[in-house]
Amino acid sequence: MAIDTPTTHRPTPASTLSRGARVRDYGIVVALVAIVIALSFSTDTFLSTGNLVNLLDQCAVVGLLATGATVCIISGVFDLTASATLALSAIVGVQLVRTVGVLGGFAAAVVAGALLGLITGTIVVRSGVNSFIATLATSIIYRGLAVVVTAGSIIYPLPEQAEDFGMLTWPSVFGLTSATIVFVVVVAGIGVLIAATTFGRRVYAVGGNVEAARLSGIRVGQIHVAVYVVSGICSALAGLILASRAGSAQSSMATGMELTAIAAAVIGGTSILGGEGAIWRGVVGALLLTLIGNGFNLLGWDTIYQQVVQGCLILVAVAVDRYLRKRGR
């Protein structure tokens, strides 16, 4: 007589991947909401209009850099030139503001960021050197050029231009600063570019399997150069926001902030192996890091431990990504 034995259900790779995608999509949102609720009950000032406007304004710079980092990582490369590109673009912008006016200088800074991204991408593609090492070396070059251009000094616009130069700090829609509006518009545009266009699909394809993408006719080199251009534009805009706040630019601007941007992208669920991620998740990762910093300030905690918390978040994010990939095999 046959005896029925219970069988253990094993999830199919497709269902595991779907569950993993849900974890990546909503895990970061759950963490963000949990921190918002905790801070709302822990301090009376967190939900004040002034603090929320300030929070979004602080997130603008890191969020723009995280957007550029996310695009690059999805395509399978890293960009360690982001903060150096930010500084050099801002310096070019301030220098030209003195001769062609504020709007002309701002436009020149964005063009400079795009050109620096083009140069970085070309170096990575043509040299064949790992993107981490190639962009690390290129960032040192850019930072050195920034020192040479400024002679190590701080660059200011003309005195009569100072008020207009600070336009990105002005209140705008719903009381938000102009910097926040620029951040939202740019991130939305890049999000649509990556999620809903042929270019975006190619970026994911190249990051997922570069050889398969090449065999399918995708010009991998052009995609990599293009993502560096996008990152360069984001860095230039972030540099303009910082310069507009400070009323000046200098070679040491945002030193090390490219690592914070990469951390935000990874915490947001972008796989460091490429091919997986979303712009909105990178932005949520940036907002989460900004929230942590804001919470430490409001609660009066020692900010030394802030770095410990950020490091733990990165380790957890990478460990979860690795676990989900192993489960999906």
Q: Which of 59, 55, 61, 64 is nearest to 186 (CA)?
A: 64
Q: What is the dihedral of CA 239, 245, 246, 251, to 10 degrees?
A: -10
Distance CA 252, CA 83 (A): 9
The pLDDT assigned to 23 comes to: 58
pTM of the predicted model as reported, rounded to 2 decimal places: 0.90
Ranges 13-22, 46-55, 112-121, 244-253: which has the least confidence: 13-22
Tell me the domain boundaries of the chain.
59-322
Q: What percent of the chain is modeled with pLDDT above 90?
A: 75
The pLDDT assigned to 285 comes to: 93
State how far Cα 135 lies from the chain centre.
Answer: 16
The pLDDT assigned to 247 comes to: 96
Question: If pLDDT is split at 50, 70 and 90, which confidence band does 86 have?
Answer: very high
Across the strands, what pairs with 171?
177
How far separated are the first and last CA of the chain, in Å rounded?
A: 37
194-245 per-position pLDDT tens digit = 999 999 999 999 999 999 999 999 999 999 999 999 999 999 999 999 999 9
Residue 88, C-beta contacts closer than 8 angstroms, at least 6 positions apart: 112, 116, 142, 143, 145, 146, 149
Query: Which overall architecture, per CATH, does domain 59-322 show?
Result: Orthogonal Bundle (1.10)
Angle, helices 102-127 vs 82-100, to 10°: value is 150
